[in-house]
């Protein structure tokens, strides 16, 4: 029986959060996201138009086929794995489900990636900080100043509180590991082909739009949780966080990313956004929050505290919901 009731889904999701906190996101060759990435690359080689400039519609249709196949295979394979484990024993099904849900979360992985930037920044080693920032952002990093490196990292932590935590968690609460993996495959598609450049503007259109749709509600719930987290953490500004969301979130080019970024900016008392460079070309990104000072390495740690507070609030909320269903 792989169709779990709400109590079971809550327990599985809570176990997954704890597993992610403790074990994190191991870079094993068997990690589902690695296999999803390989599938996307293989499908892209087969489906990408030989001359995408010939037909924008054809490129979009081929991109839609890429998206459909990827999410169907990811969800279908996950369903078969859970079914096989459950056929062995119900507790095997539970264990496999909790583990695979945890692989769609990345709270510890996000913290570890951010701390790789934090450590050299505090030591004045800007070259290493730039290199590690390059692992987590798509912008040019070779000329970043210290405050710009800190800004890029804080923005990544804020934005990925949605993508790497709350979104997959909510989908897990709806449909267990299969639906959580469907979300992770859609998010991976967006990170690989959802760019607005000449190569992917049409072919990646479907992947980018699907990611926007799937993150729409989670992003707004994350904003609320970040305001609540700011109220619980010492030195944070919950009112400024809420005001920042209302004032700046809609200025972001993404319908979702501006919410967590503006929430974190207001809570800490910094300004995010500004000039980013992509392939040497400067791009002005809407500014989030009110600038009271330059960003510092400690702001990276503070953004991580907000990330963990959000995950703790979500865990507590699931625990209360589970008790109410007893």
Residue 59 has pLDDT above 60, yes or no: yes
Q: How confident is the model at residue 165 (pLDDT cuts 50, 70, 90)?
A: very high
Q: Which two tokens stand for residue 42?
A: 């293989």
Among 20-24, 289-293, 302-306, the range of highest mean pLDDT: 302-306
Q: Give which of 115, 109, 94 is closest to 21, Cα–Cα.
A: 109
pTM score above 0.85: yes
Read off the tokens for 56. Answer: 């924008």
To which residue do tokens 């889904």 refer?
Answer: 9
Mean pLDDT, the chain, rounded, equals 94
Residue 129, pLDDT score = 95
DSSP sequence for 185-198: HHHHHHHHH---ST
Whole-angstrom Cα Rg for the chain: 20
Residue 284's pLDDT is 84
**What does the pLDDT look like over 67-124, one tens digit per residue?**
999 999 999 999 999 999 999 999 999 999 999 999 999 999 999 999 999 999 999 9
Rounded to whole angstroms, the Cα distance separating 199 from 208 reads: 14
3-state SS, 28-83, equals CCCCHHHHHHHHHHHHHHHHCCCCCCCCHHHHHHHHHHHHHHHHHHHHHHHHHHHH
> Which sequence spans correspond to the domains of the chain?
6-324
pLDDT value for 281? 79
As given in the structure block, the two tokens for residue 44 are: 């892209």
Beta-carbon neighbour count of residue 94 at 10 Å?
18
Return the pLDDT at 196.
82
> Which token pair is 263?
């929430």
In this prediction, residue 300 has a pLDDT band, given cuts at 50, 70 and 90, of very high
């Amino acid at each position: 029986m792989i169709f779990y009731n709400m109590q079971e889904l809550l327990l599985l999701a809570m176990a997954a959060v704890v597993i992610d906190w403790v074990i994190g996101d191991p870079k094993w060759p068997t990690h589902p996201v690695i296999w999803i990435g390989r599938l996307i690359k293989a499908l892209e080689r087969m489906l990408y138009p030989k001359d995408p400039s010939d037909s924008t519609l054809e490129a979009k249709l081929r991109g839609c086929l890429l998206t459909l196949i990827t999410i169907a295979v990811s969800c279908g394979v996950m369903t078969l794995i859970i079914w096989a484990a459950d056929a062995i024993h119900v507790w095997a099904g539970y264990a496999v489900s909790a583990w695979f849900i945890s692989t769609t979360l990345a709270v510890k992985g996000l913290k570890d990636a951010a701390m790789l930037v934090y450590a050299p920044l505090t030591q004045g080693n800007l070259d290493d900080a730039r290199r590690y920032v390059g692992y987590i952002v798509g912008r040019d990093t070779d000329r970043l100043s210290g405050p710009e490196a800190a800004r890029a990292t804080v923005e990544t932590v804020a934005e990925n509180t949605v993508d790497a935590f709350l979104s997959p968690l909510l989908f897990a609460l709806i449909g267990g590991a299969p639906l959580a993996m469907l979300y992770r495959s859609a998010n991976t598609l967006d990170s690989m082909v959802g760019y607005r450049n000449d190569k992917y503007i049409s072919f990646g259109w479907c992947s980018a739009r699907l990611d926007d749709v799937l993150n729409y509600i989670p992003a707004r719930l994350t904003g609320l949780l970040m305001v609540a987290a700011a109220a619980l953490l010492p030195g944070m500004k919950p009112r400024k966080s809420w005001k920042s969301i209302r004032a700046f979130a809609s200025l972001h080019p993404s319908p979702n990313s501006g919410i967590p970024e503006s929430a974190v900016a207001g809570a800490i008392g910094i300004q995010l956004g500004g000039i980013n460079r992509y392939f040497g070309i400067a791009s002005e990104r809407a500014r989030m929050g009110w600038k009271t000072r330059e960003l510092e390495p400690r702001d990276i740690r503070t953004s991580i505290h907000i990330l963990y507070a959000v995950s703790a609030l979500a865990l507590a909320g699931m625990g209360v919901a589970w008790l109410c269903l007893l």
